[in-house]
Amino acid sequence: MRDAKPNKEKSPDKAAAVERSTGVRRPDAARIPGASVHTSLASEIGLRIVRGDYPPGTILPNEAKWSETFSVSRSAVREAIKMLMAKSLLASRPKIGSWVEPKERWNLLDRDVLAWYATSPDREVFLKTVQEFRHIIEPEATAFAAMRRTDEQMAEISQACREMGEAASLQERTRADTRFHLAILRASGNDLLVPLGVLIESAFDHLFTFTTREVDDLNHVQKLHEAIEKNIRLQRPDAARAAVRKLLANTDHVIKSR
């Protein structure tokens, strides 16, 4: 798609409609079903950045080059770059262009960045990082959940635990596992943990998919989860904390042994 001339500028609604219908036509591009062109383009460029194709400090191609590479309009490129700047992956300056920011500036709590990070060559580092986060947060959050959970919250935790054991596929089990841990964070009664849990949901999904696939004894893992559920239900904070630490130690072993 070529840029419209200034005296023939499309209205925002018409331009958006054209963008959605264009698509990213490269066969290896990260086209997200139902997503706009600029969202799919941001995903493709973001994944390349996180996996190291464009190291920090790299000056990225200009709008015209991206437009040609992905067969999209320049307006789609501009919107994609804006999305990546909002996630702190990129910075931009007139006459210089866009460049990749240092990794420590990336917003790793952003859902998209987490998803790209999880599929990068540094996946092992990613898994260890998520696991360290769990060691810091989950034992105390679970102890608080045992003290503060409501009956409704307890029902949610118990149902997720039960669905883990009944799952017929890896995906079903992983999703139930994630719901279980996020429900515990909500039941902790700490308002800061609720949005944090939502942000790291993608990270949990990737971690649990890996560990569930690699674990040798799912029955043992299920029992570890059931011990957590039981101690929250019986409102035993110390026992709940200890149960979580046993689960985390088991996950540590799975990650280190693979």
Q: Is residue 227 part of a domain?
A: yes
Rounded average pLDDT over 204-218? 83
Domain that holds residue 79: 35-103
Same domain, 93 and 153: no
Q: Are the C-beta atoms of residues 119 and 46 closer than 8 Å to each other?
A: no
Instruction: Report whether pLDDT(56) > 80.
Output: yes
Domain final residue pick, 103, 130, 161: 103
Same domain, 96 and 221: no
Using DSSP's 3-state secondary structure scheme, residue 56 falls into coil
Same domain, 81 and 117: no
The domain total for the chain is: 2
Same domain, 73 and 200: no
Same domain, 164 and 231: yes
Question: What is the band of 14 on the pLDDT scale with cuts at 50, 70, 90?
Answer: very low
Same domain, 130 and 79: no
Same domain, 226 and 123: yes
Please write the tens of the pLDDT for every residue from 118-171.
Answer: 777 777 788 888 899 899 999 999 999 999 999 999 999 999 999 999 999 999
Indicate the DSSP class of residue 59. Answer: B
Per cent of the chain over pLDDT 90 is 59
Q: Are the C-beta atoms of residues 243 and 180 closer than 8 Å to each other?
A: no
Q: Is residue 7 part of a domain?
A: no
Please write the tens of the pLDDT for every residue from 75-95.
Answer: 999 999 999 999 999 999 988
Write down the H helix ranges in the chain: 12-22, 37-50, 63-70, 74-86, 111-118, 123-148, 151-166, 170-187, 193-199, 201-214, 218-233, 237-257
Same domain, 58 and 136: no
Q: Is residue 62 part of a domain?
A: yes
CATH number of the domain where residue 225 is located: 1.20.120.530
